[in-house]
Amino acid sequence: MSLSEFDDRPTKKRRFFVEESPIIDRFIPTDAHALPSPTPDATSGTQDCESNAHLYPAEVRNNREQAFDSEMLASIVGETISQDIVKRLRELSGNDLQQAINIYLDGTWKNTINEVQSVTAPQQPVTSFSFRRKASSPPKEPCTTRRESSSVAPVPVKLRSMPKDRYIGAFGVAGWATRSGSGLVKHAEKVNIERTKTKSFTRLGKGGTVRNTSNKRQDIIVRFTNSNGEEVGRFENESSAWISALLDQKVCRLEGSVVFAPDRMRTNDTIYLQLRCYLLRSAFDALAFVKPEENNRHTGLFEAKESEDERNLRLRQVALVRLFEEINLQPSQANSMTVKNQRQGILKAAEVEDQKEQNAAQSKKQDNSGTSSPPSDDAEDGEELEQDQLDSLYKKAQSFDFNTPEAEPAKTFAMSLRKYQKQALHWMMRKEKDEKQEHKERSMHPLWEEYNWPTKDVDGEDLPEVIDQPQFYVNPYSGEMSLEFPVQEQNCLGGILADEMGLGKTIEMLSLIHSHTSRVEIDAESLLDASVNNLPRLPKNFSSVERAPRTTLVVAPMSLLAQWQSEAEKASKPGTLKVMVYYGSDKIANIRNLCCEANAATAPNVIITSYGVILSEFNQVAANNGNRGTHGGLFSVEYFRVILDEAHNIKNRQSKTAKACYEIRAKHRWVLTGTPIVNRLEDLFSLVRFLKVEPWSNFSFWKTFITVPFESKDFIRALDVVQTVLEPLVLRRTKDMKTPDGEALVPLPPRKIQIDHIQFSEAEKDVYDYIFTRAKRTFNANVEAGTVMKSFTTIFAQILRLRQSCCHPTLTRNKDIVADEEDAAAAADVANGLADDMDLQSLIARFTTDEEEQDANRYGVHVLEQIQDERANECSLCFEEPMDEQAVTGCWHSACKQCLLDYIEHQREKGESPRCFNCREPINARDVFEVVRHDPHPDDEVGGLTSSGSPTPRISLRRVGTTSSAKVSTLLSHLKRIRRGEPQAKSVVFSQFTSFLDLLGPALSRDRIEFVRFDGSLNQKQRTAVLTEFAESKKGLVLLLSLRAGGVGLNLTCANRVFMMDPWWSFAVESQAIDRVHRMGQEKEVTVHRFIVEGSIEEKMLKVQERKKFIASSLGMMSEEEKKVQRIEDIKELLS
C-alpha cells in the first residue's frame, strides 16, 4: 500500500465520527514544542495502525540490536512502506529501527518532509527513545510513555501486558466556542483536551494537585485547544462534569477530533467533537492514589479523610458509568442480581445526593449528604421503619423450613442440642465451609462487571490485543477498575444468627465452636489477599497480623462476659475447650504470641471480651499508627472466628465501636442478635458491613439499592431487596414458632404466673391512704389549674411514693425518724422483759435461773424447751403438724402464726378482747412472737447441746408484724415454705426499688434465709462472683435482683421460683425479667408470684398494663400530643 493510495481515499466516505488523525499528545502544552500539524491526508495513511503502533514498542525494543531491516519495519508497522520513506526514517532515526518505527508511527517524519522544520529530535519526546527512558519531563510523559510498554519480555505480535493506555471507545460530545475567528479548527482536526483552570490547575499527568482542583467544586471546565495550542472552546457543562472527573482522576486519556465546526466561528457557537477514549493503565493498578488510605492499615483507622475519598470515588464512579453509557460498552459478564437497572440506580443515587446538596453548580459529585460538612452527619442516616414494615420484613426472614438438615455436634460438646439447634449448627457449618466451592469456581465478585476490550476501534479497524487480557473489570459501585479477575472473596463465611432471645443462640454458637475447627494448615486464603478487590476497609498489610487459627473471639456486653464463660465451660467436656476472658486487669500481655499458629496447641479456643475493650484497644492501635502487630492485643491476630453477641451494639455504622468491630480480623464472622434491625434499615447495614458481605457491605451499593428507593418511598422495592439480603445471611426462629406437628419449638417447662393479693396491715393502710390522698389532691389541683403536664414530675414522684408504700411504708419515710421510733419501741420492750428479737436459749436461761420468776414461768420454760427440742407439736387450731411458722403468745402458748393472728382478729371482730386460745389469758396482739429457727450455721456457738448430743439449732423469738410489711412477710413465708418443701430450690426476687432490696436483705438474714444480691452498683467482678455463687450453690439460695440491672441478658435458669415484688408500668418488662428464669435450659416448672397489694395503686397499674398491651402495636402511630393525653389518662386512672 502506498501513501498515494491513502491520499486518494475520499474523505467523505469515512464515517462521521471518525478520528482523522493520530493524536499526538494533547497534554503537551502547546508551547512546549511546535507540534507539526499533519494534514489529514498525510496522516490518514498511518491511521489504521496508529492505535496499534504505540502498543508495539516492547517487541520493537528487542529488535533494537538487529540491523535496520525495512521488512521488519513493515511487518511491525503492518503496512508496506515505500523505500523513500524507509530511507528517510532511517536517516532520522540514526539507523535505529525502533526509533524509526516510532518516528514513522507518530508521523513526525512528515515534518521533515513537508516543513523541513528543525526539529531537535532529542527534545522531542515523540521521537526520542532515550529521552523517553529518562521519563523525566512530566508534561511530555503521557505522550512518550504511551508508546512504551513496561514489559520487556519478547512477544511477537501481541502485547504481554497492558500498555500505558488502551483504547476503550469513542463518543461524540458538544462544545462551545470560546473565541471568535475563522479557521480556528476545521473538520477532522485534532484538538487537545485540557483540564486547564486557573489557580490550582494541573494538567493531567502531574497528579499532585489534582485533588485540590476537584475540591474546588466549581471547576469542572474542560477546554480544548487546536493544534496551535490556541484555546478554541470548552465542553458543555453536562458532559464536562464527568469528563473532568475522569481526567482529574487519571482514569483515561482523551483524543479529540473535530467533527464539525463553523468556518467563521463566533463565541458560543457549537462545535462537535469526537473523543476517543483510552483507559490509562495507572487507573487499573494505581488505585492507591485515589484512595491511598484504604490500602494501609494505618489510615484505615481514621475516618476523617474518608469524606474526601468517598467523594472522589463517587465522582469517579459516576463518571465511569457515564462513560460506558456514552461509548455504549456493555458488560460481558455481571452479577445477575445487580445488572438490572444498575446504571440507572447508580445515577439515580447520585441525583438524590445532588438534590440533598442543593448546590446546582456541581452535579453528581458528592457522596455525603451535607453540603460541605464531613461525614459525621450520618448518625441519623436513614428513615425509621414503621412497625408494620418491620413486621413484614421479619416475616420473610423468619420463614424457617423445619425440614432442614441437622448436624450433630462434635463429641467434645457436652450438652445435648434440640432439633432446631442442630439445624442451626448445620446451617452455620454450611456457611462456614462455603469457602471450598468458591475456591473451585472462582466466581466473580458480585460487585464487579466484566468488559471486553474492544477489538475494533470506532472505524472498524483492528486494535492490538494484549495476551491474556481480553477483558477488564469495573466496579461501578466504587469506581474501581481492574485487569485481574475479581474473585468473589470468601469474606462472608458467617452470618447473622437472629434467633429470638431464649432459643439458645449462645449454645448454638458454642456447638459450632466445637464442631467446626480449623485445620491448622494454611489454605489458599493467602492467595486471595492479593486480589485487587479487597474492600476499602480491608487493610492489606497482613505482615503485622498473625493468624490465630484455633481461636474464636467473642465480643459481648460486659454483663454477659461471665455468662459466656460459664456456658462455654458447661458446654464442653472437661479439657476440650480453653476459654479465656479478656477483660480489665485479667488482660494478658500478648494475644499475638498466645494465639499464633506456632502455639496452636496451647492457644485459647475462645477469647471472651467486651465491646469496651475492643473500642479501647482500637483507639490504642489507632494512636500507634495502626500498627496492630506491635500492640499485641486483640487486633494483632486474625481469628478463626469472631462472634459479636448482642450485635445491635454496633447498629450505628458511624459509631466508634462499630468501626472498631469492623477492624477485627477473622475468617468467619458471626453476629448474634435478637433484633437485626432495631428501627432503621441502616442498622442492618452495619451488621452486613461487619460481616463483609459482598456486595452489600459497600455503602454506595447499599445506598443505591436500599436507602434511595426507601427514602423515595419505594418501600416495596427496598424491603424486597433487604429480604434478599437477609435471606441467605440470617437464621431466625422465634419462640412462637410451631413445628409442623404444632409443637412449640422449645418445649419449655410450664410457667405459672399467679398474682398474690396482699392485704395491708392497718398501719400500712394508714400510711398508704395518707399518701394517696395527698397525691390525689395535688393532681386534682393541677387539673383545675391546667398545669398537669408542667407538674408532671411532682405528680409522678408522688405516685412513686405510693408504689413504694405498697412495698414497705418505711421506704417513703425519712430514715432518721424511722430509726428514732424504733429506738422508742425497743425501750418499752426492755421494761416488759420482752423484745422484738429474743434468743431462746438465753430466755430459758433467764427463766430457770431467776428464782422469783421460776414459778410463774414454769410452763413457759416447758414450752420453750419443747420448742427448742423441736418436739413435734401440732397447732391446736388447725392441727397442722409441725406448725406452720410457729408463733408463741406472751403466755407461751404456741400455734401457727397465721392461726394465732386469725383468732386474735376473730375475737376483735366480735368485740371481745383477745385472749389466749389455750389459757384464756388476755393477750396483747403485739406480744405474739414468731419462732425463728435458724439453719445450723458453722459460726453458731450460741446453741448448747441437747440430750442427743447434737448441737441445738439457734432459735429466736421475734415479735410478729413490727419489722416487716405485708409484702415482706408474705415473701418470707413463701421462702420459708420453699425452704421446708424443697430445700434445694432457688428463688429470684425482683424489685425495681433497690431501697426495698435494702430492707429485704436484713429481713432474710433475720430468718436465716441465705441470699445474694445483684444490682447496678456491682462491678464486673462482683457480678460474676454473685452469679457464679448463685448458680453453683448446692443449697437453696435467694437472689435479690434489681429489675433494671437484671432485666436483660442474664441467665438464671438454675432458679425456678420468681417473686415480682412490685409491678412495672408495662408487663413486657416484667415478662422479660421472668424470662431470665424461664428460658432455654430451664428444666423445672417455673412459679411466678406477682405481689399486688389489694385496693392499691398496684391493682390499677395492672389495668394500665393491660391497656398498654393493647395499644403497643399502634404505639408508633401516636403523636406526641396523643401520648401526653394518654399519660394524663393513665394518671387519672391510677388516682381514681
User: What residues line the site for other proteins (CB under 8 A)?
Assistant: 876-880, 895, 899, 902-903, 906, 917-918, 920
Instruction: Check if the beta carbon of residue 438 is closer than 8 Å to that of residue 485.
Output: no
Q: Which of 406, 1040, 1096, 485 is nearest to 758 (CA)?
A: 1096
Nearer to other proteins, 717 or 915 (CB): 915
Nearer to other proteins, 331 or 914 (CB): 914
Nearer to other proteins, 859 or 903 (CB): 903
> Which DSSP string do the residues of 412-462 spell out, in sequence order?
TB-SPPPHHHHHHHHHHHHHHTTHHHHHHH-PBPTT-EEEEPPSB-TTS-B
CB of 960 to other proteins, least distance (A): 18
Nearer to other proteins, 440 or 910 (CB): 910
Q: Which residues pair with 65 in a beta bridge?
A: none
Phi and psi at residue 577, in whole multiples of 5°?
A: -140, 120
Task: Tell the residue number behind the cell numbers 398491651, with chain if given.
Answer: 1109
Which residues does 195 contact at the CB level (< 8 Å), separation at least 6?
Answer: 201, 202, 203, 204, 213, 221, 222, 223, 244, 247, 248
Sign of CA pseudo-dihedral 678, 683, 684, 689: negative
CB of 875 to other proteins, least distance (A): 9
Nearer to other proteins, 904 or 966 (CB): 904
Instruction: Check if the beta carbon of residue 363 is closer than 8 Å to that of residue 347.
Output: no
CB of 915 to other proteins, least distance (A): 8
Nearer to other proteins, 387 or 873 (CB): 873
CB of 877 to other proteins, least distance (A): 5
CB of 920 to other proteins, least distance (A): 7
Nearer to other proteins, 263 or 881 (CB): 881
Element (H, E) at 256: strand 252-260
Nearer to other proteins, 902 or 927 (CB): 902
CB of 916 to other proteins, least distance (A): 8
CB of 878 to other proteins, least distance (A): 5
CB of 973 to other proteins, least distance (A): 17
Q: What value, to the nearest 5°, has the Cα angle with vertex 749 and ends 747 and 753?
A: 125
Establish how many alpha carbons lie within 13 A of residue 492's alpha carbon, considering only the half-sphere containing its beta carbon: 23
Nearer to other proteins, 894 or 987 (CB): 894
Phi and psi at residue 444, in whole multiples of 5°?
A: -75, 145
CB of 919 to other proteins, least distance (A): 9
Phi and psi at residue 957, in whole multiples of 5°?
A: -105, 125
CB of 899 to other proteins, least distance (A): 7
Q: Which residues pair with 569 in a beta bridge?
A: none
Task: Indicate the DSSP class of residue 85.
Answer: H
CB of 923 to other proteins, least distance (A): 12
CB of 883 to other proteins, least distance (A): 13
Establish how many alpha carbons lie within 13 A of residue 650's alpha carbon, considering only the half-sphere containing its beta carbon: 34
| CA distances for 118 relative to 9, 23, 96, 109, 227, angstroms | 30, 21, 20, 12, 18
Nearer to other proteins, 798 or 889 (CB): 889
Nearer to other proteins, 273 or 904 (CB): 904
Beta strands in 874-1014 (DSSP E): 886-888, 894-896, 929-933, 955-959, 987-991, 1011-1014
Nearer to other proteins, 179 or 915 (CB): 915
Q: Tell me which long-range contacts 159-162 makes (C-beta under 8 A, separation of at least 24).
A: 159/55, 159/56, 159/58, 159/59, 159/464, 159/465, 159/466, 159/467, 160/58, 160/466, 160/467, 161/466, 161/469, 162/281, 162/284, 162/466, 162/469, 162/483
CB of 929 to other proteins, least distance (A): 18
| CA distances for 1123 relative to 787, 1109, 1126, angstroms | 16, 15, 5
CB of 775 to other proteins, least distance (A): 38
Nearer to other proteins, 906 or 1035 (CB): 906
Return the SS3 of 1087. Answer: strand
Nearer to other proteins, 433 or 906 (CB): 906
Q: Tell me which long-range contacts 887-890 makes (C-beta under 8 A, separation of at least 24).
A: 887/928, 887/929, 887/930, 887/931, 887/960, 888/863, 888/928, 888/929, 888/931, 888/957, 889/916, 889/918, 889/921, 889/923, 889/927, 889/928, 889/929, 890/834, 890/923, 890/924, 890/927, 890/928, 890/929
